[in-house]
Amino acid sequence: MPASLAFGLIPYALGVSGERVDVSVPAGPPEPAHWAGTPPLRLIAPDGTAVGDTEVGLAPAVMADLLRRMIVARRLDRECIALQRQGELTVYPGFEGQEAAQIGSAFALGPEDFVFPTFRELAAALVRGVDAVQYLQYHRGTWHGGPYDPRATRFGPISIPIATQIAHAVGHALGQKLDGLSACTLAYFGDGSTSEGDFHEAANMAGVFGVPAVLFCQNNGWAISVPTTRQTAGEIWRRAEGYGFPGVRVDGNDVLAVYVATRDAVARARGGEGPTLIEALTYRVGAHSTADDPGRYRDDAEVEVARAFDPIARFRTWLLAAGHVDQAFISSCEAEAEAFAMEVRAGVVDTPAPPVEWMFDWTFAAPSEAFQRMRREALGE
């Protein structure tokens, strides 16, 4: 075991297995402020050139499929924002800029692994096979959590309360361990969640019991209107040391790096080596949600800096240069994304309002007479 693991950290200056790798960041545009500090695992630079070993065990066709998924996810995300503006969805949280973090991590999971999401993981949900129209019924207000089957998709219901799903994930992972299952549980959360007690309680429990879990933090720079640099001290990935398990810092806008970091963490979990904390450095290009006005607390210049690190442009440039895709393939992905967005739009708009009686169903095991009377009056019975 490398000495770094004994202290609960995986410094990618030495690599997971102890070999030295290049983590130098080539000259380029200034990085977002919250990326400062320890250089993250990075295989593809923001300009699309390789800076690490891109032989990650994925065939060229599979890597091309990662790009396709990212293009489709971004187009759907933009369509969801349009649907909200047109009154077809309620509050919707966009994820533009975070496609690599979500898709690279979800792609590293196996069919038996389980995901506990926040309310921003639509891209990850698509990778797990969740029906987009069913997922969006939560944001349409026609079903709480979405009517998709979490057991079949291995993707839990949308979670709005900050950080509570991390504790749920660790509990689920403990159950998997006690049942002797070779599977892991991945919890998504943002940088703001790491300031919540739920995160610390869950991380402590994960370390004490050595559960097969991956705690995946998408550090997108903002906890609603509070920047990461003002709501947490130090680097999030380093917190793992205090709980007795490894932490990893990865460029969350580099889909291959995210895939590798998650793949290795999943392998550790399945191998009985316990949890891993991954801090994926990314950026929230849009608003916190469609109910938010980021112009009140964020400069447009900061967003333009972040756009230089766009995950889709970076990966597309590298794939083209490597000869793994051509412009015709990219055009086909864009056409597929457009058609898919229109299909989802039609499905969302056609989703009927829930029956009125649902206000009264699943409320009391033994309804009182007063409750029954209210039900009869509301339904005109």
In the prediction, which pLDDT does 188 show? Answer: 98
Tens digit of each residue's pLDDT (9 = 90 or more) over 316-344: 999 999 999 999 999 999 999 999 999 99
Tens digit of each residue's pLDDT (9 = 90 or more) over 229-288: 999 999 999 999 999 999 999 999 999 999 999 999 999 999 999 999 999 999 999 999
Catalytic residue (choose from 74, 284, 314, 345)? 284
- Number of domains the chain is built from: 1
The verdict on residue 174 lying in a domain is: yes
Q: What span, in angstroms and rounded, lies between the C-alpha atoms of 44 and 32?
A: 17
Catalytic residue (choose from 263, 288, 314, 316)? 288
Average pLDDT of 54-69? 98
In the prediction, which pLDDT does 28 show? Answer: 63
Contact 42, 252 (CB under 8 A): no
In the prediction, which pLDDT does 153 show? Answer: 96
Mean pLDDT for all residues in the chain = 92
Name the strand (E) or helix (H) holding 213.
Answer: strand 213-219
The verdict on residue 17 lying in a domain is: yes
Contact 249, 281 (CB under 8 A): yes
Q: What span, in angstroms and rounded, lies between the C-alpha atoms of 98 and 95?
A: 6
21 to 6, 43, 77: CA distances (angstroms): 20, 10, 35
The verdict on residue 162 lying in a domain is: yes
Residue 135 annotated among the catalytic residues of the structure: no
Give the number of other CB atoms < 10 A from CB of residue 90: 14
In the prediction, which pLDDT does 10 show? Answer: 44
The verdict on residue 132 lying in a domain is: yes
The DSSP call for residue 274 is -
The verdict on residue 167 lying in a domain is: yes
Residue 286: give the domain boundaries.
3-350
Q: What span, in angstroms and rounded, lies between the C-alpha atoms of 145 and 156?
A: 9
Residue 297 annotated among the catalytic residues of the structure: yes
pTM of the model: 0.90
Dihedral, 55, 58, 61, 62 alpha carbons, nearest 10: -140
In the prediction, which pLDDT does 17 show? Answer: 37
Contact 96, 71 (CB under 8 A): no
The verdict on residue 149 lying in a domain is: yes
The verdict on residue 207 lying in a domain is: yes
pLDDT greater than 70 at residue 18:
no
Average pLDDT of 171-199? 97
Tens digit of each residue's pLDDT (9 = 90 or more) over 340-369: 999 999 999 999 988 888 889 888 999 999
The verdict on residue 96 lying in a domain is: yes
Tens digit of each residue's pLDDT (9 = 90 or more) over 27-58: 567 899 999 999 999 999 999 999 999 999 99
In the prediction, which pLDDT does 27 show? Answer: 52
In the prediction, which pLDDT does 144 show? Answer: 80
Q: Which residues are bridge partners to 185 per DSSP? A: 114, 213
In the prediction, which pLDDT does 11 show? Answer: 42
**CATH code, domain carrying 324:** 3.40.50.970
Catalytic residue (choose from 85, 144, 297, 376)? 297
Residue 34 annotated among the catalytic residues of the structure: no
Q: What span, in angstroms and rounded, lies between the C-alpha atoms of 4 and 16?
A: 9
pLDDT greater than 50 at residue 222:
yes
| Distance of alpha carbon 153 from the chain centroid | 16
- In this structure, what token pair is assigned to residue 361? 């169903």
